[in-house]
Structure 1
Amino acid sequence: MSQKTARALVYSRSAGVCERCGHQHATEWHHRKNRSQGGKWTAANGLHVCSQCHRWITEHPAKAATRGYVVRSWQSPLEVPVRLAWHGYVILDDIGGMTPALIDLGGAA
């Protein structure tokens, strides 16, 4: 998938609202699995977040991982549930959609 396609799918999914807090205008792309760890430009690997939430994810990687905002190098973004504002825990797909997750990672916002 191209960077342009991945961004378009994620931006459409977010409707311009931060996918973490659900309150701020989303202005930044966040790779759940870092590109340096094999993360790709895919809809499941991306989040559209505000700068404050992006900073929080970066500064709190362990807590962010418990909520699915960070995917470890050995994990797949297609399999790790993520807590999205207004949706709870979901599994993201690579066509810009989501399904409710069967497993709650137990994290709070």
Structure 2
Amino acid sequence: MKVATARAYDAVKERSFGLCEVCGIRQATEIHHRLHRSHGGPDSPENLLHVCGSGNHTGCHGKAHQDTHRYGNGWAIRSGNGPEHQPVNRQVLYRGRWALLTADGGLVEQEVTF
């Protein structure tokens, strides 16, 4: 694993405190790429979630790959060239609250206005 990738993974694991960043209940066991690597997604903290489950099939990791609301919830990001396709610009439903994930491994909670 590249040093930069290892640093990003460590930052995300620190951000999660070992709990799934989707449900906030179960132990996080895997790193999920919101913009998938196969679509050019980077190994950067704003693109990564520490999630429960195994592979792309169970727990919240499976949910982030298969749930019909995965794009609306920011757990997955469609590929493209516009700013809305950049992880740093896409809010994520983080343990039931909206947040922006930051490049330094932090998060900024967002207020939802109607």
Tell me which interval the TM-score lies in, with the shorter structure as reference length: 0.7 to 0.9
**Structure 2 unaligned spans of 5+:** 54-58
Normalising by the residue count of structure 2, what TM-score does the alignment of the two structures yield? 0.83
Deviations 1:26-72 (A, max 9, x none): 00100000111110000000000000110112122x41111000011
Count of aligned residue pairs for this structure pair? 102
The structure 1 segments of at least 4 consecutive aligned residues displaced by more than 3 Å after TM superposition are none
Normalising by the residue count of structure 1, what TM-score does the alignment of the two structures yield? 0.87
CA RMSD of aligned residues (A): 1.6
- SS of 2:70's equivalent in the other structure is helix
Cα distance, 1:85 vs structure 2: 0.9
1:56 to 22, 41, 63: 63
Cα distance, 1:101 vs structure 2: 2.5
1:30-69 equivalences under 5 Å are 30-51=32-53, 52-60=59-67, 62-69=68-75
Q: Residue in 2 aligned with 1:72?
A: 78
Residue identity matched to 1:55:
G
The structure whose Rg is larger is 2
**Structure 1 unaligned spans of 5+:** 105-109
- SS of 1:44's equivalent in the other structure is helix
Q: Residue in 2 aligned with 1:83?
A: 93
Q: Residue in 1 aligned with 2:107?
A: 98
Cα distance, 1:100 vs structure 2: 2.1
* Percent identity for Structure 1 against Structure 2: 33
Q: Residue in 1 aligned with 2:17?
A: 15
Contact kept in structure 2, 1:21 and 1:85, CA below 8 Å: yes
